[in-house]
Structure 1
Amino acid sequence: MVVERLRVCRHTLLPLEGQALAVRVGGPPCASGQPFHRQPSRLVGNSACYVESFRPRRYSRGRRMKALVLSTNNYRSFPSRKQRFARRLAERGYDVLYVEAPVTWLAVARPKQWWKLSAWRSGVHDQGDHMWTASPTPWLPYFKKYERVADHDSLTYYRYLQSLAGDWTAEASIVLTYLPFVPRTLRLLGAPVVYDCVDDHSAYPGLLGKATVDRLEARTADIASAVIATNETIAAKFSSHEDKLSLIQNGVDHELFAAPAMTWLDTLTTLPRQRRFLYVGAMREWFDVQALGAVAAAYPDCVIDCFGETLPVVRDGLAVHANVVFKGTLSQAAIAQEAPHYDVALIPFRESPLTLGVDPLKFYEYVSAGLPVVSSTIHALGAFGEDMVRLASTPEEFISAVQDTIDADSLELRRSRVESSRRFDWSLRITEFDRVLDTMAHHQS
């Protein structure tokens, strides 16, 4: 039912009725319109004798409100909706603390993550334009497997936030969270919550229990005043929260990718065959080595350039294919300059609940550069025609789709993709995010 409703209401906020609750035991209620501050030890769930809806904390004229963004990415990692929505909060008048991705003590075994184990000691960093960042103290492992561990880590997380200079926990007016694992933190913070769900967190590989992650996420959604999903597959998980659910897909800095593409296309009279295929993104457990290997074997005279961090198992699995080249990471701006000069862009993911439910940023970047795309089966991409993307579920289908895509491509189709992808620009996604915030504020005023 929720999926059918979202097809009608796509990119619009559904009526918001549910509100998160703060609970105080004993004592008189707060005066009407006044901020409701709690002692953390007094929060006891919904069984208390006194319940009050969260209200935005009010500030004297000229003083900026404060917002917390609880992220699963570091601030200086690849730019995504997390940084963009955080910056939008700053543009709307908030001082924003962007809390970077947590790590567990298992990072001791990963030399590349050692710096994160002590990053919390450096406190809050001013990034300018009313944006600050901080990196949390390490968590206990197994928080995705055992709910009691998650609640322990939530308390550790809250106490870390509480210790930061700037009174962020006492004065937070809104929390934008990408973490479904810290509902206890959200309760203790006591501010209105927006939960932006961009992945099926229970489908990730590793030390987790699906039922545990689902319960933690359900608690997070219950607390949230608004829930955002990136696509209908993710939205279907929140069928019991239709009253506060909206759908905002990922987007692209359209001008960044479109300008180099159009500059190059305007120099051409026919579309040349480059004999180069492109992949951009992390190559981890979800990467389909078999599919890419099959394409490499079928097109030995074509180079497949792969940009992004790569697991050793992926490199080893493709080592026999000399035409697969791992080129490390590049900035978005550098990728935008390179992208138009490829024949086709690839998204080879292994089929799993995780990959079926993603809304890949790379797709929007590829088509904004005019590139045709061949992808593994991803539900969010099924809405687009073959002039934009062909889907393949087996290595053989992948090979065939690559050939069909190259044969069908033209200068006209390249220009059409660039132009039609304007509708994916982040500015339009930000407008949708604004609607969520405005509607939430209206219901809580």
Structure 2
Amino acid sequence: MNAHHDLLCISHLRWNFVYQRPQHLMTRAAKNRRVFYVEEPIHYPPDLSADEAQPRLDVSEDHGVTVIVPRLSAELTGDCAEEVTRGLLHAYLKEQGVERPVAWVYTPMRLPLLDGLSTGGVVYDCMDELANFHHAPPQLRERERQLFDMADVVFTGGYRLWESKRTQHDNAHPFPSSVDVAHFARARSGLPDPQDQQGIPGPRLGFFGVIDERFDIELIAEVARRRPEWQFVLLGPVVKIDEADLPRGENLHYLGMKKYAELPQYLAHWDVALLPFARNEATEFISPTKTPEYLAAGVPVVSTDIRDVVRPYGEKDLVRIARDTDEFEAAIEASLREDNSERQRRADALLAQMSWDLTWKNMDGLMAHAMAEHDPIIKSVRNDATIAGVADD
């Protein structure tokens, strides 16, 4: 890919929220090109005057990525919000000398931001089946069909999702979650126990990530009730569900959201790491990034039977898989009792083949090829060379 080809990333995820796939990939992309990461708008408080609530873009930089946050008045929503945001964004890109950027899209709902913008190509990095999530906009599926028509290449966040999307685009490629092994392997080096976890006795069963409709509330509630001596340490923000619905008890500890840099410290003092995902529409296509992260930390892992955890981690006997509450409890008990060294040795061998650096390198190569096909000048040169070669024969 041309190092001077700017990349415009359109996302539904806050840059400074949970550190996940977009952050891993965009920070690597920014090493040899300008990357502009556009978040969803934030609305001013409704009591501000019109002068105080003027639309604007808040621009900052993090790890080489330019993060753009539209700020709009409270009454600007829907198509009007997109129109105003589009105007602000296009003016900013022109001011920065951005010409024909590659559009890297995470959410079809923001597709109107590309209207009237000349791009060097379009990438759809499909992390999840967003249409299956609670409160998904009704027009999301139609917008995704439009995005498939525009996209030069499609990446998916896992194999199960790829099996679904490959029927909708002829240049789709699976890229399941990778891992920064060195970062999480720090958990094996005797890091100090974080202060808010120090008073929690063992054994500790931990989870980090967004707690939302994918989290199996009933499963955790029942296992915690059955085994009061087990301590459940739950890290992460509660999103789209009522906190009042979360199970409570003396052995359930909600420690809130933690920074990516802090996670190895917590993992270093867990006895088992959990993937307690419900089986529902929102989890059918997920490929949890935390699976290889847990394994890199050297902690035994127990998961419900999510397809992209079963394959490959369960099939390779690296993660214990449970289909119901009884099996989940038994898998935790086995993890607490058994020596994990042989399983960890095999996990390390697999993790050595996985990295965000390698994922980005492969994505970049596929993107470069797709963009070359997209560019009419390059495509014309290639076609002319092909014709000349045939004539010479």
If the length of structure 1 is used for normalisation, what is the TM-score?
0.72
Q: Which moved more, 1:238-247 or 1:328-337?
A: 238-247
Cα offset, 1:400, TM superposition: 2.2
Write the mapping of 1:275-354 to structure 2, written as runs, cut at 5 A.
275-310=203-238, 313-314=242-243, 316-319=245-248, 321-354=249-282
Q: Rate the CA distance shift 1:381–1:387 in 2: closer, same or farther, 3 A.
A: same
Deviations 1:185-236 (A, max 9, x none): 3342231111100010101101532xx3211111111101111111122223
Q: Rate the CA distance shift 1:304–1:127 in 2: closer, same or farther, 3 A.
A: closer
Q: Rate the CA distance shift 1:436–1:118 in 2: closer, same or farther, 3 A.
A: farther
The 2-side partners of 1:421 and 1:392 are apart by 22
The 2-side partners of 1:358 and 1:185 are apart by 27
Deviations 1:107-134 (A, max 9, x none): 969xxxxxxx9696353224463x3111
The 2-side partners of 1:226 and 1:287 are apart by 31
Q: Do the aligned partners of 1:262 and 1:415 also contact (CA within 8 Å) in 2? A: no
- Which residue is equivalent to 1:32? none
Confirm or deny that 1:186 pairs with 2:126.
no
Unaligned segments of structure 1, at least 5 residues: 1-55, 110-116, 144-148, 265-272
Confirm or deny that 1:124 pairs with 2:51.
no
The one-letter amino acid paired with 1:301 is E
Q: Do the aligned partners of 1:195 and 1:228 also contact (CA within 8 Å) in 2? A: yes
The 2-side partners of 1:139 and 1:190 are apart by 28
Q: Do the aligned partners of 1:294 and 1:396 also contact (CA within 8 Å) in 2? A: no
The one-letter amino acid paired with 1:201 is L
The one-letter amino acid paired with 2:276 is P
Q: Do the aligned partners of 1:390 and 1:401 also contact (CA within 8 Å) in 2? A: yes
Aligned CA-pair RMSD: 3.2
- Which residue is equivalent to 1:420? 350
Q: Rate the CA distance shift 1:345–1:315 in 2: closer, same or farther, 3 A.
A: farther
The 2-side partners of 1:400 and 1:119 are apart by 57
Q: Which of 254, 260, 273 in structure 1 is aligned with 2:181?
A: 254
The 1-side partners of 2:303 and 2:63 are apart by 38
- Which residue is equivalent to 2:292? 364
Aligned-residue identity in percent: 23
The one-letter amino acid paired with 1:121 is R
Q: Which of 24, 30, 39 in structure 2 is aligned with 1:100?
A: 39
Write the mapping of 1:22-421 to structure 2, written as runs, cut at 5 A.
64-92=4-32, 94-102=33-41, 121-127=56-62, 129=64, 131-138=65-72, 154-164=82-92, 166-167=94-95, 171-191=99-119, 192-206=121-135, 208-209=137-138, 212-261=139-188, 274-310=202-238, 313-314=242-243, 316-319=245-248, 321-383=249-311, 384-385=313-314, 387-421=317-351
Cα offset, 1:79, TM superposition: 2.0
The 1-side partners of 2:143 and 2:4 are apart by 32
The 2-side partners of 1:298 and 1:206 are apart by 33
Cα offset, 1:323, TM superposition: 0.3
Q: Do the aligned partners of 2:221 and 2:247 also contact (CA within 8 Å) in 1? A: yes
Partner of 1:182: helix, strand, or coil? Answer: helix
Unaligned segments of structure 2, at least 5 residues: 47-51, 192-200, 379-393
Deviations 1:157-200 (A, max 9, x none): 32231232653696242111111113333342231111100010
Cα offset, 1:329, TM superposition: 1.9
The 1-side partners of 2:39 and 2:170 are apart by 30
Q: Rate the CA distance shift 1:327–1:226 in 2: closer, same or farther, 3 A.
A: same
Cα offset, 1:394, TM superposition: 2.5
Cα offset, 1:152, TM superposition: 5.4
Partner of 1:256: helix, strand, or coil? Answer: helix
Q: Rate the CA distance shift 1:350–1:202 in 2: closer, same or farther, 3 A.
A: same
Q: Which moved more, 1:397-406 or 1:247-256?
A: 397-406
Q: Rate the CA distance shift 1:353–1:118 in 2: closer, same or farther, 3 A.
A: farther
Q: Rate the CA distance shift 1:344–1:139 in 2: closer, same or farther, 3 A.
A: farther
Partner of 1:345: helix, strand, or coil? Answer: strand
The 2-side partners of 1:161 and 1:403 are apart by 53
Partner of 1:123: helix, strand, or coil? Answer: strand
Deviations 1:222-279 (A, max 9, x none): 1011111111222233234443111111111110111331568xxxxxxxx9511001
Write the mapping of 1:11-30 to structure 2, written as runs, cut at 5 A.
none
**Corresponding residue pairs, total:** 357
Deviations 1:72-125 (A, max 9, x none): 222222222212322233223x2221112345x6x969xxxxxxx969635322
The one-letter amino acid paired with 1:412 is E
Cα offset, 1:316, TM superposition: 4.6
Cα offset, 1:337, TM superposition: 2.3
